[in-house]
A and B are shown apart, each in its own frame.
Chain A
Amino acid sequence: MKKSIINTLTVLSLVTAFVMMGFTSIGSSSKYKCMIQMKNYTGEGAYVVISLLDANGKYVETLYVQGNDDEWYSDITEWWKFYGKRRPNIDSITGETISGGERKISVIEIPDDKIDTGYKIRFETAVEDQEYHVEDVQFELTSQTVKSKVEGNGFIRYVRMIPQK
């Protein structure tokens, strides 16, 4: 008898938790166009993972993944520690890898309450049999930076963002 009550409570609390989480993420968000211009490196196409980090640098959400062959995901080690545990479905926010010299425009969605509140956006890159750059591009999300151009440190030459009206 007792057991079933506990079970019911657990289920209820879990449901509540999910609903709450649902509500928080339903909160308004905006779309941004984001262009990644690669450097002229040679080799395979690069995997680029765009993530939302909190002020302490902890992963909050995956915004976009350029590269759809998941056999290589574990090579993007920092992000894999976050994503690899649960592996939610990211099919709708994946594209193809970007080769050297190429550019790619993707549309990402960022919750409005993450702007000007210390949250950061990270672009980490990895190329088969070459280096892995955790912070190829990383900057704090402010109403200024979301319409700017930021130089990259690794395979990325620069990233440009503008809000999608």
Chain B
Amino acid sequence: MTISIWRYSHLLLAISSSLFITLASITGIILAFEPVSNQLETYAIHNLDNVSVATTITALQHTYKEVIELQVTNDNFVTASVITHMGDSETFYINPITGKKLGELKEKATLFKFATNLHRSLFLKSTGRFIVGIVSLLLFLLLFSGIILIAKRQGGVKRFFSNVVKENFLQYYHIQLGKLFFIPLAIITLTGIYLSIEKFSLLPNHQITHTTAFINNYTTKAPKDFPIFQQTTLSDVKSITFPFSKDVEDYFLVKLKNKELQIHQYAGEVLSSYEYPWVAITSYWSLLLHTGQGSILWAIVLGLACITLIFFMYSGFQMTLKRTKKQLILKNKFTKDEAEFIILVGSETGSTYRFAHLFFEALLSTKNKAFIAQLNDYNSFAVAKQLIVFTATYGDGDAPTNAKKFQELLASIPQQNSIKYSVIGFGSLMYPQYCKYAVDVENRLAQHPNFEAFMPLFKINNQSFTAFQSWANQWIAHTGIPLTIKQPKASIDLKKLRSFTVLKRSELNTDATFLIQLQPHKKQKFQSGDLLTFYPENDLIPRKYSIGKINNTIVLSIKRHEFGICSRYLSQQSTQDIVKAKIERNHEFHFPKYAKEIVMIANGTGIGPFLGMIDENKQRKKVHLFWGTRTKASTEIYKDILNEGLQNKQLTSLHIAYSQETGIKQYVQELIAVQAEKIASLLKNEGVIMICGSVAMQNQVLQTLEKITTMQLAQPLSDFEHAEQLKMDCY
């Protein structure tokens, strides 16, 4: 079945039941407090499995004139209906060992009464119960379709619990919480459905039938000597009705959790025993599991599950809104037969559209005739010269929803003229089938007689804008069409920027790099690998630098670009100047706490965060730094820090590749290839590899690492990425 059917049903179910689910969740949250507060009451008895029925009965008969009934509630309260020596008929909570009164029966709080009623019948009696039952069923189906969607997205059931790629906050937590809460939610919905079915007598009938034995000869015993009373503890008891009169025929009626017994009031023999059928036992457990009665922990889980449901509703609808928004942008000025540049998009969540649209706008603004459509809208193009395909991949290498029909259309619709094509794949290295569908599209186009490759397939990891820009630059160089791709503006309040004092700035090195050391004015939490974002011209376009934390100050390694506004601005700062910026936490790229051995790979200024991590390595874990730079002179500004690290044993080994040095031209991936065996054994022993630097270097290094893992360990690199043994921050 296709993904879209599941997604549409998921959405449809959500729309049809959202109002009721929200109501049920809110009341559910309120009701979760009831068992919690009950368990905290003084008359909740927590050691019922240590108290025998004989003890309690004896204590009660000793304390009161007559005992009518004893009950143990699901909240572990023990109540007794008695007639006191004063002749008053009373019911109250008791201490089951002494029989003494602990307190008056507490009425259910009005709030809980109200919430219960709303929760189970919306104040509509039977009609309401029916509606609630149906909604429980819908919620279960919603959950089921959600689980399927997660499995599809993760690329198979086996990978259900593997890491989720964080595209944005709502999507990430919608899935994470789904994975975390689907079991409690399944329990809530199934028990809810069961309780509703029970209310409508849809379950097999069961009738309590007793065949009471008669005993003629017996010796009278006191209840405390009845073996059955001695053997049964209160934790198994639901209620005990005392004999109605002193007549021999009247008996103790003992209701346990799984059966009820009639017990001779003088002989103590079991006269009859009736085992409850599974229907009754299931309803007992359904009630406990659905309400959380008797268990604080479970009640809290139930409450959290309700909060999660509300979050699901909110995030789900937000995601849908975003998705429709993203897809509504296809407004063409030119028809498909007028346009020279055809942009086709395959997008599942809509984020690929963002890039396609930037490119489309750039073409239009330079007076090029461009046409944008979904891959599913593939058609004949009368005057097209170039086809540019932007496509994501869904789940385990499948086509996104709006590209499902593309391959079929490509084969059946003829083109009159020859068209040059380029494919850009969007994906995440976290998935083993990284950009698989883009590869498929590329292959199909290559085989097609009317298409001719223009630029090789280009893959973009985690929607990196920088990577996209570098593709665009290549395209511009190839075509000679001067495009300007506008970077989407961040939504940030410039007033929220913090001040940092410049402590030190190194002189510009021969290769235009420099180090700058900053002190935050206010105390802020940060770590090496976090990002420092500048908005140098108040133009809302962020420039990010990876932080190295050394002695609680921020050290940035920066290369000054001739036209780089931010790098030039920072290169002109001197000691005591104040700059404005914002720290962004980047939890995926922190120094790993648990790994014993770490390999750091960087090129150029990508060394920055690693300088801080070496400083952070007070435990002297084995840390190996592989660094690619231009010339020996480039090391000048870093050498003090690196040498100190080596001396303190906070840095175990240092491997530098010089790409511009005469005689020994080398790249960092070549250094790694030489160490293949060591790298493989490090990965095998749960070591971590961190990469920081340019996307070009990252791609080369990843290729080398992929070779190492497949050759030496017979495993794809993505396995290690999933195990969080591969951390990357590239630009």
Residues of A in contact with B (beta carbons under 8 Å apart): 31, 33, 35, 40, 42-44, 71-72, 91, 100-107, 109, 128-129, 160, 162, 164
Contact A103 B201 (CB under 8 A): no
Q: Which residues in window 241-258 of B have CB below 8 A to A?
A: 241-242, 244-245, 253
Q: Which residue of B lies closest to A33 (CB)?
A: B244
Contact A103 B68 (CB under 8 A): no
Query: Does B89 have its Cβ within 8 Å of any Cβ on chain A?
Result: yes
Nearest Cβ distance between residue B262 and chain A, in whole angstroms?
Answer: 11
Scan B565-578; emit 1 where CB is below 8 A from any A CB, else 0: 00000000000000
Known: A40-B209, A42-B207. 4 other contacts (CB 8 A): A103-B241, A109-B89, A128-B125, A128-B126
Please name all residues of chain A whose beta carbon is closer than 8 Å to the beta carbon of B83 when the two chains form the complex. Answer: 31, 107, 164
Please name all residues of chain A whose beta carbon is closer than 8 Å to the beta carbon of B87 when the two chains form the complex. Answer: 31, 164
What separation, in Å, do the CA atoms of A131 and B623 have in the docked complex?
Answer: 81
Please name all residues of chain B whose beta carbon is closer than 8 Å to the beta carbon of A40 when the two chains form the complex. Answer: 207-209
Contact B253 A103 (CB under 8 A): yes
Please name all residues of chain A whose beta carbon is closer than 8 Å to the beta carbon of B241 when the two chains form the complex. Answer: 103-105
Q: Which residue of A lies closest to B204 (CB)?
A: A42
Contact A44 B68 (CB under 8 A): no
Please name all residues of chain A whose beta carbon is closer than 8 Å to the beta carbon of B208 when the two chains form the complex. Answer: 40, 100-102
Contact A31 B107 (CB under 8 A): no
Query: Does B117 have its Cβ within 8 Å of any Cβ on chain A?
Result: yes
| Given A31-B87, A40-B207, A101-B208: A162 in contact with B245 (beta carbons within 8 A) | yes
Q: Which residues in window 85-101 of B have CB below 8 A to A?
A: 87, 89
Contact A43 B244 (CB under 8 A): no
Nearest Cβ distance between residue B71 and chain A, in whole angstroms?
Answer: 9
Consensus secondary structure, chain A interface: mixed
Q: Which residue of B lies closest to A105 (CB)?
A: B68
Please name all residues of chain A whose beta carbon is closer than 8 Å to the beta carbon of B201 when the two chains form the complex. Answer: 42-43
Nearest Cβ distance between residue B408 and chain A, in whole angstroms?
Answer: 56
What separation, in Å, do the CA atoms of A142 and B420 have in the docked complex?
Answer: 107
Query: Does B404 have its Cβ within 8 Å of any Cβ on chain A?
Result: no
Residues of B in contact with A (beta carbons under 8 Å apart): 66, 68-69, 81, 83, 87, 89, 107, 117, 123, 125-126, 199, 201, 205, 207-209, 241-242, 244-245, 253
> Which one of A42, A100, A105, A129 lies within 8 Å of B244 (CB-CB)?
A105
Contact B126 A101 (CB under 8 A): no
Contact B89 A91 (CB under 8 A): no
List, sorted by A's number, 18 A–B pairs whose CB atoms are closer than 8 Å. Answer: A31-B83, A31-B89, A33-B68, A33-B244, A33-B245, A43-B201, A71-B123, A100-B208, A103-B241, A103-B253, A105-B68, A105-B69, A105-B81, A106-B68, A107-B83, A109-B89, A128-B126, A129-B126
What separation, in Å, do the CA atoms of A91 and B105 have in the docked complex?
Answer: 11
Nearest Cβ distance between residue B275 and chain A, in whole angstroms?
Answer: 14
What separation, in Å, do the CA atoms of A85 and B240 have in the docked complex?
Answer: 37
What separation, in Å, do the CA atoms of A129 and B87 have in the docked complex?
Answer: 39
Please name all residues of chain A whose beta carbon is closer than 8 Å to the beta carbon of B81 when the two chains form the complex. Answer: 105, 107
What separation, in Å, do the CA atoms of A103 and B210 have in the docked complex?
Answer: 13
What separation, in Å, do the CA atoms of A43 and B241 have in the docked complex?
Answer: 22
Most B CB atoms within 10 A — which of A43, A103, A107?
Answer: A107
Most B CB atoms within 10 A — which of A72, A104, A105, A109?
Answer: A105
| Given A71-B125, A128-B126: A42 in contact with B205 (beta carbons within 8 A) | yes
Please name all residues of chain A whose beta carbon is closer than 8 Å to the beta carbon of B89 when the two chains form the complex. Answer: 31, 107, 109, 164
| Given A71-B117, A105-B69, A107-B68: A162 in contact with B244 (beta carbons within 8 A) | yes
Most A CB atoms within 10 A — which of B66, B81, B89, B241?
Answer: B89
What separation, in Å, do the CA atoms of A91 and B68 have in the docked complex?
Answer: 19
What separation, in Å, do the CA atoms of A160 and B244 have in the docked complex?
Answer: 9
What separation, in Å, do the CA atoms of A134 and B201 have in the docked complex?
Answer: 24
What separation, in Å, do the CA atoms of A103 and B245 have in the docked complex?
Answer: 14
Nearest Cβ distance between residue A67 and chain B, in whole angstroms?
Answer: 14
Q: Which residue of A lies closest to B242 (CB)?
A: A105
What separation, in Å, do the CA atoms of A74 and B87 have in the docked complex?
Answer: 33
What separation, in Å, do the CA atoms of A160 and B209 have in the docked complex?
Answer: 20
What separation, in Å, do the CA atoms of A71 and B253 have in the docked complex?
Answer: 31
Nearest Cβ distance between residue A104 and chain B, in whole angstroms?
Answer: 8
Please name all residues of chain B whose beta carbon is closer than 8 Å to the beta carbon of A72 when the two chains form the complex. Answer: 125
Q: Which residue of B lies closest to A130 (CB)?
A: B201
Nearest Cβ distance between residue A63 and chain B, in whole angstroms?
Answer: 12
Q: Which residue of B lies closest to A40 (CB)?
A: B207
Q: Which residue of A lies closest to B205 (CB)?
A: A42
Please name all residues of chain A whose beta carbon is closer than 8 Å to the beta carbon of B245 when the two chains form the complex. Answer: 33, 160, 162
> Which one of A100, A104, A106, A109 lies within 8 Å of B207 (CB-CB)?
A100
Nearest Cβ distance between residue A93 and chain B, in whole angstroms?
Answer: 9
What separation, in Å, do the CA atoms of A153 and B140 have in the docked complex?
Answer: 43
Nearest Cβ distance between residue B182 and chain A, in whole angstroms?
Answer: 32
Contact A164 B207 (CB under 8 A): no
Nearest Cβ distance between residue B145 and chain A, in whole angstroms?
Answer: 33
Contact B207 A101 (CB under 8 A): yes
Q: Which residue of A lies closest to B200 (CB)?
A: A129
Nearest Cβ distance between residue A70 and chain B, in whole angstroms?
Answer: 10
Q: Which residue of B lies closest to A34 (CB)?
A: B244
> Which one of B107, B199, B244 lies within 8 Å of A91 (CB-CB)?
B107
> Which one of A33, A44, A102, A162 lies within 8 Å of B199 (CB-CB)?
A44
What separation, in Å, do the CA atoms of A17 and B284 have in the docked complex?
Answer: 51
Please name all residues of chain B whose beta carbon is closer than 8 Å to the beta carbon of A100 when the two chains form the complex. Answer: 207-208
What separation, in Å, do the CA atoms of A113 and B674 have in the docked complex?
Answer: 109
Most A CB atoms within 10 A — which of B66, B205, B244?
Answer: B244
Q: Which residue of B lies closest to A129 (CB)?
A: B126
Q: Which residue of A lies closest to B243 (CB)?
A: A105
What separation, in Å, do the CA atoms of A50 and B69 have in the docked complex?
Answer: 19
Nearest Cβ distance between residue A56 and chain B, in whole angstroms?
Answer: 29
Please name all residues of chain A whose beta carbon is closer than 8 Å to the beta carbon of B69 when the two chains form the complex. Answer: 105
Q: Which residue of B lies closest to A72 (CB)?
A: B125
Nearest Cβ distance between residue B172 and chain A, in whole angstroms?
Answer: 44
Q: Which residue of B lies closest to A44 (CB)?
A: B199
What separation, in Å, do the CA atoms of A109 and B245 have in the docked complex?
Answer: 18
Q: Which residue of A lies closest to B107 (CB)?
A: A91
What separation, in Å, do the CA atoms of A101 and B274 have in the docked complex?
Answer: 12
What separation, in Å, do the CA atoms of A103 and B244 have in the docked complex?
Answer: 11
Contact B66 A164 (CB under 8 A): yes
Please name all residues of chain B whose beta carbon is closer than 8 Å to the beta carbon of A104 when the two chains form the complex. Answer: 241
